[in-house]
Amino acid sequence: MQIIKTFLVACIFIAPINIIAQSTLFQQGSKDNILLDRMEIKLQDDSLLNFSFLKPFNRKWWIQSIEHSTIAKSLSAVDQYNLSRSQLNNLEWSNLNRDSIKSNKVLLKGIYEDPANMIKIQQKDFFLSVNPVIQLQAMQEKDAGQFLFLNSRGAVARGLIANKIGFDVYLTENQERPPLFVRQRVTQFRGVPGANLSKRFKGNGYDYFDGRGSVFFNATKFVNVQFGYDKMFLGSGYRSLYMSDYAASHLFLNLNLHAGRFNYVSRIMELTSQYTRRVDKDTLFPKKYAVFHHISFNAPKWLSLGLFESIVFGRRDHFEFSYLNPVMFLRVAELQVGSPDNSFIGVDAKANIAKTLQLYGQVLIDEFNTKYVRQRKGWWGNKWAIQGGLKYIDVMNVKNLDLQLEANWIRPFTYSHFDTVGNYTHYNQPMAHPLMSNIREFVSILRYQPAPKWTVQAKAIYWLNGVDTANKNFGNNIFLSNETRAAFDGFRYGSPVSRKNLNLNLWVAYEWKENLFLEANFNIRNQENSTNTAFSSLGLRWNMFRREYDY
């Protein structure tokens, strides 16, 4: 995206010469996220951790918070272990004694001198960490004649140059034959969840690369810049109504202003519009763009309030430069160019209570007309989504037993647009909730870490979605133009025909070596008036996020 590249170069040249140290971010699905949730609630009013809705999270912020906190000695033995391992995995910022972490079984000079880094170079003005990435899963599905599998191999690296420029790189090569319902989803939407370009592998499997990378620097004391190709999750819940990491990675320029209790994010994104690709012909995929702003403020420190706005747009002949202004309201800019684009606004809140409980929520408004709301006829264009949830740690005083409950309600046609360019999608995948719209969803997660190396988690997701029957558009499939809707009004959550769905998952993991997990999964998925299934898996995962099928 030429405009992003030009803007980045401009930022570099106008930035002060003495750029402040810039941190890289956690990897997607980092094990530190579990401890991050717990520490945020326990500390309650930490001015850095309260911005944990920005995922992946800032490594420097994380280490500053946990090493400066005064509650470490009051934590459980498991939490103290997790804290020490977190310092080990973020050595570029940690005050951990280097001699205390040296491995006694160094294979070769410079290889695994500490348990968390295969290759580590740590000098006065340079830090580099390089690690392998592996995920191997063998899966068996009920009544399936074929063996299911996931085979991912690659490498991840991160570094700091002169404490002024940070960078990270992630690359994997993947072969996957997922359960039948996932393959059906790929066929329907022509996109492998979370992946970019893919090709067929062994008949009904998929082969794809996952390549990501970013460069980080601080333009001023309070403003940091990230230019890269990666994912982002915006929210405190299991799902996000704003932006999730379900879809493929995208090109972006991210500006983050953080000052005390205030945080502001402006992100410009180049996305891939809907497409159909011939397997025997290379082609240039159609482009579209998106911009979002998110402002959050802690007042008081235990309470975070936020405002969100976003625009998705495409132009045949030019980029819409009005949307580059990071301090202008996007809806105002969109109105000034004729209101052709898909705009969103939202509010969110999060409260940490009694150092054991967190309440959180999001409200997203895609389109809203009070005239039709008062009529109560279910006008199709009143499009919004609501999330409410809680996190309860150390349930009933059982240490490291955590519960999360969440509800998501998304009205029909939310995230859709009158054309197929402006819908809230990327690479044939939804950018927010993977179940799209016209749903009511309830999530329950119970997680227990009885010992430092063991984790057990039970998860239940129940949802009702409106079915697009008789080849008519009732607002579930956001890839369809909302001008193809079946009616003008009469739309409710799950209308006109609701289908019940249940996804149950039990996950058990043992961390054999640092960041090397042996794990087992068992899943049951029931769908009303459709095929029910169950599948289980055994696997090994090293320095990589879990691949989940929770939709």
Q: Which of 96-105, 121-130, 174-183 has the lowest mean pLDDT?
A: 96-105
Residue 280: what pLDDT?
60
Q: What is the pLDDT of residues 39-58, one digit of tens each?
A: 999 999 898 999 999 999 99
Distance of CA 163 to the CA centre of its chain: 27
pTM confidence score: 0.92
Whether residue 348 is predicted with pLDDT greater than 80 in this model: the reply is: yes
Long-range contacts of 352-355 (CB under 8 A, 24+ apart): 352/40, 352/41, 352/44, 352/45, 352/50, 352/302, 352/303, 353/44, 353/302, 355/41, 355/42, 355/43, 355/44
Where does residue 78 rank: exposed (0-12), middle (13-18), buried (19+ CB within 10 A)? buried
Residue 279: what pLDDT?
65
Q: Which amino acid is at 205?
A: G
Average pLDDT score over the chain: 89
Q: How many CB atoms lie within 10 A of CB 335?
A: 12
Q: What is the pLDDT of residues 75-113, one digit of tens each?
A: 999 999 999 999 999 999 988 776 666 766 656 667 888
Tokens of 420: 């197929």
Do residues 427 and 272 touch, judged by C-beta distance below 8 A? Answer: yes
Longest alpha-carbon distance in the chain: 74
Q: Shortest CA distance to 437 belongs to which of 479, 375, 389, 497?
A: 479
Higher-confidence residue of 379 and 88: namely 88
Distance CA 170, CA 231 (A): 12
Residue 69: what pLDDT?
82
Domains of the chain: 2-542 (2.40.160.100)
Whether residue 509 is predicted with pLDDT greater than 60 in this model: the reply is: yes
Helix axes 59-68, 77-88, angle to 10 degrees: 140
Say how many residues make up the chain: 551
Q: Residue 253 gets which letter from DSSP? A: E
Q: In degrees rounded to 5, what are phi and psi of residue 44?
A: 70, -45
Higher-confidence residue of 457 and 420: namely 457
Q: What is the pLDDT of residues 237-249, one digit of tens each?
A: 999 999 999 999 9
Confidence of residue 317 (pLDDT cuts 50, 70, 90): low
Map residue 66 onto helix, strand or coil.
helix
Whether residue 19 is predicted with pLDDT greater than 50 in this model: the reply is: no
Q: What is the pLDDT of residues 453-465, one digit of tens each?
A: 999 999 999 999 9
